[in-house]
Amino acid sequence: MFSTASLLTIVSAAALFFSLSEGVLATPVRRAQCAATLNEAKVIADRLQSHWFNTATGQYTDGELWTDCNALEDLHNLMLAAGSDDYGSVADESWIGKAALNPNEDWNAFLGGSWDDSQWLILALWKIADYKNARGQDASAYLSSAAKVYDIVAAQWDDTVCGGGVWWSSANTYKNAITNELFLLTSASGYLRTGNQTYLDNANKEWNWLSNSGMRNSDGLFNDGLDSSTCQNNGQTTWTYNQAVVASGLGALGVANKDTSLFDEAEISLDASMSHLTVNGILKESCDDPVSSSCDHNQQIFKGIWTKHVQYYLDQANDAARTAKYSAFLGAQYSAIYHYGKNADNDVGNVWYAPSQGGSIFSPEASASGLAGIVADAKYGPC
């Protein structure tokens, strides 16, 4: 259970969030990285690496490509925030880094026809490159590999079914939200990184299609995807991560196009998340349950991706009022992760909104999710 003090912290944070959302408060919360919060992130990261990372294989226990990519991204996001080198060798030792460093890597074989996983890989390669560049190290192999993977994904755009979009996989049977939100993000961010007009053209094409696809429902939330036979919203689960990856993509596109109305579009789904995908102001997946969670390895990482991509969105928006709107909410997630999600071994479970009664699942994906939430709070939450 929470202590009285910690419960008051969360209640105060939630109250501040609702005040901000109603426009009562306009002054920004501090923007410096919070050292105390980053210290807590390091505790989680240390446990993630010592308990869940296999140095022989360069993989996380039972990990998949996309979840391992997010864990590596989270470690490098932490090091960039903290100015540390605690995990500076991990990228090159990982199976992902070894592929990136191999100039002859067969990326089509490596990716296995999964076009959403491919783009999580791009994001990880970019974050690793950012870290290496910040340390004066050679990041060219990581950037070159990211460009190669991006070109493979861009070739999967298809106009013949539902008028556009990138397929979820090489099976060409499903067009879903996350793959296309990621293509928006990798395209817009790729343009900001390279100035390559093709990236920006792809980003604008993607948002034009995605915004008219019907995947965002009347609550402002993106459902999982489209029914391929009707090209209508399939009504499947509104996972948390779908609501923030689109926001970080729109943040990048807003900067690229010098169009702040895209920030307003981003916040439709962020605000809807906070209204519809929470319990007592804390993010909750439909599969989360403190007594008996049913989340699989993929779903255990979703909430942390939400917080991370809110961080990325706020990085791009670079606006004190927009930051203030989400600061207390990020702070509440951190408090919940720390007091409800974390166990005595410093692993983080998938349930944040309530103390585990034996049902929270502790895994590398859930710990990476918690790590992402703490790092996002260190940058934009109350300190």
pLDDT tens per residue, range 117-168:
999 999 999 999 999 999 999 999 999 999 999 999 999 999 999 999 999 9
Please, what's the largest Cα pairwise distance for the chain? Answer: 58
What pLDDT is stored for residue 32 in this prediction? 67
Residue-level pLDDT at 63: 85
The amino acid at residue 195 is G
Query: What residue ranges do the domains of the chain occupy?
Result: 63-155, 157-276, 280-382
Give the mean model confidence (pLDDT) for residues 370-376. 98
Q: How many CA atoms lie within 13 A of 146 on its CB side?
A: 26
Q: How far, CA to CA in Å, does 13 sit from each of 94, 272, 278, 304?
A: 38, 18, 14, 18
Buried b (16+ CB within 10 A) or exposed e, 97-123: bebbeeeebebeebbebbbbbbbbbbb
pLDDT of residue 13 exceeding 90: no
- pLDDT > 70 in the chain, percent: 92
State the pTM of this model. 0.92
